[in-house]
Structure formats: C-alpha cells, structure tokens
C-alpha cells in the first residue's frame, strides 16, 4: 500500500522560521522588525518635491535649527501671505516660524546638520501659484527649497523604531516573539504608518515612536513612561490626553495616586517645554499659539453636531481615509475587544481609553481627511496607544476561532496591499 503524505500547509512551511523567531530576545525582535521596515520605508519614502505642506514646514524648521540655530525662518517671511500653500508659516517677532510644535523638527535637526546638500532658491511666477493663493500685486515669489532627504530619513527611521518598540511591548504583554513580530509588521505595513508617517516628515512618525516607548516602559518605569509621553506631547500636544488617561487608570486600579503622579510628572515636562516654547516665540504660554483659536472654537461649538457625526463616519468608513476601509482587520478585531480588555493590564486599558478620547477630541476640533494624500493619518497615534488591547483581543478570541482567524488574515492581507500601493503612489480606493 502506498503511503500518502499529508499536504504541507502554509503554517508548516514557515514553522522553522517561527521557531527561530520564538528563540529571539527583545533586542532581536526589535531589530527583526525595525531593520527590514526601515529598508522598506526608505525605498518608498518621498525624496523629491513636491511635499505635503505639513512635512515641508517641519523640514524647513529642522533645516533652520541645523544651519542657523534658529527657529525663525529667514527667507520665508513672504509665505505668511501664502499661508498653507507651500507650508504653514506664522508671524513671530520680525520673522516667521513654523506653526507646529518643535518635536518633529528637533529629531530631524541632526540629520540636516550633516546633510551635504544646500538649500536652493526657487522662483515662482504668478501663474505658477495656485489661483486660490495668488496675490495680484506680486509678480513673482522666491523662496528657499531645503533638501528633503533628512526629513524623509527621519520619517522612515522614527516609524520603523516605533514598530520595533511596539514588538517589544507586545512581548512584554506575554505574547510570543513570533506573535509580537507579526503584530508589529501588521501595524507597520497595514496602516497609514507606511504610506503617510514613514513617507514625509509629518509629526506622526515621531509621535508614534514616543508613544510606543511609553508603552514599553509602562511596566518597568512609571517616570520613564511619563517622559516618553512628554516627548510625544512636545511633538503633538493633544496626546496629553493619552498620558492622562493612562496614569489615571493605573492609579484607579492600584488605589494609589503614585502612578498618576509619576506618569504626570514626566508628561508635564513635555507640556511645560511646549508652553515655554510658545511663550518664547509667540509671547504667551498658550497651547494653541501657532495654530490660532480655530480648533478650540470648533471643539467647544455645539452648533456643529451634525458635522461632527459626519466627520466620525468619514474617519471610520470613507474610502478616502476610513480606518476600517484602509485597515479592515480592525473590524475583525471588534468581537474580541471585550476579552482583550479584561486580559489587559491597567496601563493598556488606560492607554486604550486615552486613544478613544483623543480621537473623539481630534475629530471634534478638526476634519477627517487632513490633507491630499493616500491613506489616513489622524488615527495613527491612537492605534499605537490601543495596540496592546487590540493585540490581546486577537489572542484571547480571534486566534481561537478558525473562521475569525481566516477573516483576520484575509483582512490583514488586504490592508497591507492597499497601504503598500498607496506608499508607491497608486490609488486603489476611489475618493
């Protein structure tokens, strides 16, 4: 009688690799995630103009810090009259500055300090400027074009490091090295982290990196976790919400003020630096000095509830930026959220609560889209903060049910495909 060998399944084929990964320690897992992702991000990043105006603004700010040791942007004064076209430059003193907090620019400054390329003056005639920004009494506009390589490198590096930290954090939750690596790769390739955060010098890559570090330190250093949140706040101030919810939840569960106090001290350092920066540059310690009052007014307005609901729908289900459309595996995780929640430590629960509150505030004060690009960006920091609960949702419920697990794998493959195509500039989801 002939012996019929059983078919080799996909999991069986990669079993030796999985076994090798499961023998890795935290450093090995960090490198296994961060190294290849950095290579992928560098290959797909934007290395030439045009840039999104947000990224151009951060790049100019970093270039000025590196070359002029100044936050004041000499040569960009005329652009305050073209607000939002090339970048977001606002008056300060006798010059202009970036409207953004300094966190992202500070990380790119060392790369700009050693980058060999000089800024080049570009002259735009009136017809070269989009009609909505044209000033009829100005025939031409000359502005410096800074090299964008250091910005692209910073974006790719911080996003890759964020995913490396995420993998380490998932291991510390009790996940196997293989599961932690797989989860981090899905976060790095199946979300807007790839086509957006790793593409140009937005605030998102640096902010995600600091949040991921805060999660890694949550069980080992309350103060260190707080300082990581502080760095995130210096990059993107509303992230103070996530820090506050994390500290308060830990204190509530521990029945002690110590966790909230320790996390709060570190996080407050970042907030204090941000307020001091605004006081120095704009003359007042305001949380919205560079942005103006528009976001605050929209947040407190009660006349735009319909618009708010529409914004929430667009942020979750629109083909343009909907997180459940671009990352459909998140939908499959919903049935496991309850189990994941109860399996999570208090710091992960607090971080997840902070992620939800942060998004609710973000979309009340702002729009869903956030610019003309492929993918979504506003939920990125929230997804990083919620990642531990999402990971445990998969482990506690989805992984134990074959139908849900197959749906998750399929949805993950779709997410990686659409975000990967977006990363190389191919639009697959119609706006």
DSSP letters of 342-400? HHS-HHHHHHHHHHHHHHHHHHHHS-SS-SSSSS--TTHHHHHHHHHHHHHHHHHTGGG
Q: Does residue 288 sit within a domain?
A: yes
Give ∠ CA 351-99-142 in degrees, rounded to 5. 140
DSSP letters of 281-326? HHSS--TTTTT-SHHHHHHH-STTHHHHHHHHHHHHH-TTT-HHHH
CB–CB of 390/301 below 8 Å?
no
Number of domains in the chain: 2
Amino acid 73: pLDDT:
94
Q: Does residue 388 sit within a domain?
A: yes
| Shared-domain flag, residues 119 and 203 | no
Q: Does residue 12 sit within a domain?
A: no
Mean pLDDT on 134-154: 85
| Shared-domain flag, residues 283 and 402 | yes
Residues 6+ apart with CB under 8 A from 14: none
Residue 256 CB: number of other CB atoms within 10 A? 11
Q: Does residue 232 sit within a domain?
A: yes
| Shared-domain flag, residues 131 and 245 | no
Residue 111, pLDDT > 90, answer yes
Amino acid 297: pLDDT:
60
Amino acid 4: pLDDT:
46
Structural domain ending residue among the three candidates 93, 126, 147: 147
Of 244-253, 348-357, 366-375, least confident by mean pLDDT is 366-375
Q: Does residue 25 sit within a domain?
A: no
Mean pLDDT on 227-255: 96
Residue 324, pLDDT > 50, answer yes
| Shared-domain flag, residues 93 and 179 | no
User: How far is residue 343's CA from residue 399's CA, in Å, rounded to a whole number?
Assistant: 14
Q: Is the dihedral of CA 271, 233, 206, 202 positive or negative?
A: negative
| Shared-domain flag, residues 294 and 345 | yes
Amino acid 63: pLDDT:
97
Amino acid 287: pLDDT:
82
Structural domain ending residue among the three candidates 147, 178, 199: 147
pLDDT band at 2 (very low <50, low <70, confident <90, very high): very low
| Shared-domain flag, residues 74 and 102 | yes
Burial of 94 (0-12, 13-18, 19+ CB in 10 A): exposed
Amino acid 23: pLDDT:
83
| Shared-domain flag, residues 183 and 128 | no
Residue 431, pLDDT > 90, answer no
- Phi-psi sector, 359: left (phi>0), alpha (psi -120 to 50), beta: alpha
| Shared-domain flag, residues 135 and 213 | no
Amino acid 81: pLDDT:
82
Mean pLDDT on 67-85: 89
For 297, the token pair is 């007014």
Q: CA torsion angle for 205, 206, 211, 212 (degrees, to 10)?
A: 70
Burial of 208 (0-12, 13-18, 19+ CB in 10 A): buried
Q: 91-95, 285-289, 331-335 — which one is most confidently predicted on average?
A: 331-335
Name residue, tokens 């531990």. Answer: 388
CA 105: distance to chain centroid?
15
For 220, the token pair is 């080992």
Q: 19-28, 101-110, 127-136 — which one is most confidently predicted on average?
A: 101-110
289-310 pLDDT tens trace = 777 665 666 666 666 788 889 9
CA 236: distance to chain centroid?
10
User: How far is residue 369's CA from residue 348's CA, in Å, rounded to a whole number?
Assistant: 28
Residue 10, pLDDT > 80, answer no
pLDDT band at 123 (very low <50, low <70, confident <90, very high): confident
Residue 13 CB: number of other CB atoms within 10 A? 9
| Shared-domain flag, residues 282 and 184 | yes
Structural domain ending residue among the three candidates 119, 147, 175: 147
| Shared-domain flag, residues 278 and 311 | yes
171-183 pLDDT tens trace = 999 889 999 999 9
13-37 pLDDT tens trace = 777 877 888 788 999 999 999 999 9
In terms of residue numbers, what domain contains 138? 53-147
Q: Does residue 90 sit within a domain?
A: yes
Q: Does residue 112 sit within a domain?
A: yes
Q: Does residue 167 sit within a domain?
A: yes
| Shared-domain flag, residues 205 and 307 | yes
**Which secondary structure element, helix H or strand E, spans residue 230, and what is its range?**
helix 222-235
| Shared-domain flag, residues 143 and 180 | no
For 390, the token pair is 């999402």
383-393 pLDDT tens trace = 999 999 999 99
The DSSP symbol for 218 reads T
Amino acid 292: pLDDT:
66
Question: What SS3 state is found at 72?
Answer: coil
CB–CB of 214/243 below 8 Å?
yes
For 426, the token pair is 């191919």
């Amino acid at each position: 009688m002939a012996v019929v060998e059983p078919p080799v399944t996909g999991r069986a084929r990669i079993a030796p690799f999985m076994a090798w990964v499961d023998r890795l320690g935290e450093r090995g897992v960090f490198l296994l995630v961060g190294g290849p992702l950095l290579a992928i991000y560098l290959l797909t990043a934007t290395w030439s103009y045009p840039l999104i105006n947000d990224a151009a603004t951060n790049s100019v700010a970093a270039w000025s810090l590196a070359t002029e040791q100044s936050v004041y942007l000499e040569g960009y004064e005329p652009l305050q009259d073209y607000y939002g076209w090339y970048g977001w430059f606002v008056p300060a003193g006798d010059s202009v500055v970036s409207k953004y907090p300094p966190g992202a620019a500070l990380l790119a400054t060392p790369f700009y300090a050693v980058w060999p390329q000089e800024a080049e003056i570009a002259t735009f005639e009136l017809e070269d400027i989009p009609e909505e920004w044209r000033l009829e009494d100005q025939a031409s506009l000359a502005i410096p074009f800074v090299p964008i390589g250091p910005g692209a490198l910073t974006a790719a590096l911080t996003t890759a490091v964020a995913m490396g930290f995420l993998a380490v954090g998932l291991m510390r939750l009790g996940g196997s090295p293989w599961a932690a690596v797989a989860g981090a790769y899905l976060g790095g390739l199946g979300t807007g982290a790839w086509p957006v955060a790793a593409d140009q010098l937005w605030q998102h890559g640096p902010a995600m990196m600091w949040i991921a570090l805060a999660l890694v330190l949550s069980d080992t250093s309350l103060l260190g976790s707080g300082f990581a949140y502080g760095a995130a706040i210096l990059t993107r101030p509303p992230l103070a919400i996530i820090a506050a919810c994390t500290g308060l939840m830990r204190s509530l569960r521990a029945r002690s003020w110590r966790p909230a106090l320790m996390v709060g001290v570190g996080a407050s350092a970042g907030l204090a630096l941000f307020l001091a920066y605004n006081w120095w540059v704009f003359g007042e310690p305001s949380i919205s000095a560079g942005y103006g009052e528009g976001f605050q007014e929209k947040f407190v307005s009660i006349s735009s509830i319909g618009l708010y609901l529409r914004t929430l729908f667009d942020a979750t289900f629109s083909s343009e930026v909907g997180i459940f459309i671009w990352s459909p595996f998140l939908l499959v995780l919903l049935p496991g959220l309850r189990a994941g929640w109860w399996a999570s430590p208090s710091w992960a629960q607090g971080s997840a609560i902070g992620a939800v509150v942060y998004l609710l505030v973000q979309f009340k004060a702002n729009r869903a889209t956030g610019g003309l690009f492929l993918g979504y960006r506003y939920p990125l920091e929230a997804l990083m903060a919620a990642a531990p609960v999402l990971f445990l949702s998969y482990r506690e419920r989805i992984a134990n049910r074959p139908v849900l697990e197959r749906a998750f794998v399929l949805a993950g493959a779709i997410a990686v495909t659409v975000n990967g195509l977006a990363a190389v500039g191919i639009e697959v989801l119609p706006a």
